[in-house]
Amino acid sequence: MDFGLSSEQQMLKDAVRRCLADNCPLDHVRARADAGSAVSEPAAAALHAMGLSGLMVPEAHGGLGMTLLDAAVVAEELGRAVAPVPFLARSVLAPLAFVLAGSDAQRAAWLPAIAAGEARFGVAILGIVETRDGSGVLAGEDGLSGTALFALDFEGANHFIVADDAGRLHLVNAEANGVERVALKTIDATRSVGELRFDAVPGESLADDGGAAGRRLRDAGRALLAADSLGAAEVMIEKAVAYAGEREQFGRVIGSFQAVKHMCAEMAARHEPCRALVWYAAHAFDAVPDEAALTACHAKSHTGEVHRFVARTATEVHGGMGFTDLLGLHYWFKRIGFDRQVLGGPDKVRAEAAQLQDWAAAAA
């Protein structure tokens, strides 16, 4: 039995890689970061032309109707290219929200618009994972009030999917009265995040399912962040091995020194098992939903730790050069750091995994 990607998924992977090589080289990523924007319109337009805006939109609503594993294949390539494009929230989590919790009318109204690139969604569901700094969103008779932290794909969004404190999802127009949008800067200049502040904002609620759809979005987001990290770490290993084969010290390439060999080998040995873990987490979301939350926790926490090691070690192999903007290694380093923390860092996610397996009591 073949447990690898299907031929169609491999073709998707290759097509996205070629598209990003043509439209989003490192110099372009650097230019966008220098301009203060986390969105590359040319790269986003090229991916939209491939139909990726409708990747998770059912065929009946004008999309491709693909699975989360297909989305993970794309996310891995985006991580390889450190592509500054809105994908996680806009192309995956937002359409999933309507598929999981939208009414027939909501699906008919919004899913075709997402596939066409007309409805540009951000997603704010961090409150399902944790609350801090007095944040939280309350849904009352007057609408939504409170603060939603770390809305993903914030730049350019004209609508948001927001989770309230009960985990229920709401659709909010970005221009609605009472909405204050605050762009945030993180270590990763290739990702757009922001804060949403609500003061009696009218919102359109999705299904009252006790927060089940929100938790499913959290699981999908974690699996895709792990996939993105997988691609970023793979590039860092490749660059470290290539540099070790070129850089000379004492008349020898540094890759001939045993210490450097061990560093490169350990990165590869720790990284490679992550691939199956991430692929299975994405596969389980659709095929084995009872395991989705746990496998997403495993993938997110493990890649968070392993790829932090890879990021540090690859930078060390490059020596002083690794800290310069000339190589651009820091873009992958910071991307991995972002992926590690968003929607729960390793400690938080491992604690959830323990609770799911009845190994620990739920937090009060």
Task: Please state the rounded mean pLDDT for residues 224-230.
Answer: 98
Task: Please state the rounded mean pLDDT for residues 229-239.
Answer: 97
Question: Which residues have CB under 8 Å from 222's CB, separation 6+?
Answer: 281, 296, 297, 299, 300, 343, 344, 349
CATH H-level, domain 7-115: superfamily = Acyl-CoA dehydrogenase/oxidase, N-terminal domain (1.10.540.10)
Per-residue tokens: 83: 């592509």
The pLDDT score that the predictor gives to residue 361 is: 66
**Any idea where the domains of the chain sit in the sequence?**
7-115, 121-205, 212-356
**Of 16-25, 140-149, 322-331, which gets the smallest average pLDDT?**
322-331
pLDDT value at 250 more than 80: yes
pTM reported for the whole predicted model = 0.95
Question: Which residues have CB under 8 Å from 314's CB, separation 6+?
Answer: 236, 237, 239, 240, 267, 322, 329
Task: Please state the rounded mean pLDDT for residues 349-361.
Answer: 89
Contact 37, 155 (CB under 8 A): yes
- CATH fold, domain 212-356, is Butyryl-CoA Dehydrogenase, subunit A; domain 3 (1.20.140)
pLDDT in tens, 104-149: 999 999 999 999 999 999 999 998 888 777 789 999 889 999 999 9
pLDDT value at 325 more than 90: no
The pLDDT score that the predictor gives to residue 153 is: 97
The stretches of 62-144 forming alpha helices (DSSP H) are 68-80, 94-101, 104-115, 126-129
* Residue-averaged pLDDT of the chain: 94
**Of 84-93, 229-238, 296-305, 350-359, which gets the smallest average pLDDT?**
350-359
The pLDDT score that the predictor gives to residue 253 is: 86
**Binning pLDDT at 50, 70 and 90, where does residue 179 land?**
very high
**Binning pLDDT at 50, 70 and 90, where does residue 210 land?**
confident
pLDDT value at 363 more than 80: no
CATH H-level, domain 121-205: superfamily = Butyryl-CoA Dehydrogenase, subunit A, domain 2 (2.40.110.10)
Cα separation of the two ends of the chain: 45
pLDDT in tens, 68-105: 999 999 999 999 999 999 999 999 999 999 999 999 99
Burial 233-264 (b: 16+ CB within 10 A, else e): bbbbbebbbebbeebeeeeeebbeeeebeebb
Per-residue tokens: 216: 């499913």
The pLDDT score that the predictor gives to residue 119 is: 96
Task: Please state the rounded mean pLDDT for residues 242-264.
Answer: 87
- Secondary structure letter of residue 8 according to DSSP: H
pLDDT value at 23 more than 70: yes
Q: What number of other Cβ atoms are within 10 A of residue 34's Cβ?
A: 10
pLDDT in tens, 295-314: 999 999 999 999 999 999 99
**Binning pLDDT at 50, 70 and 90, where does residue 364 land?**
very low
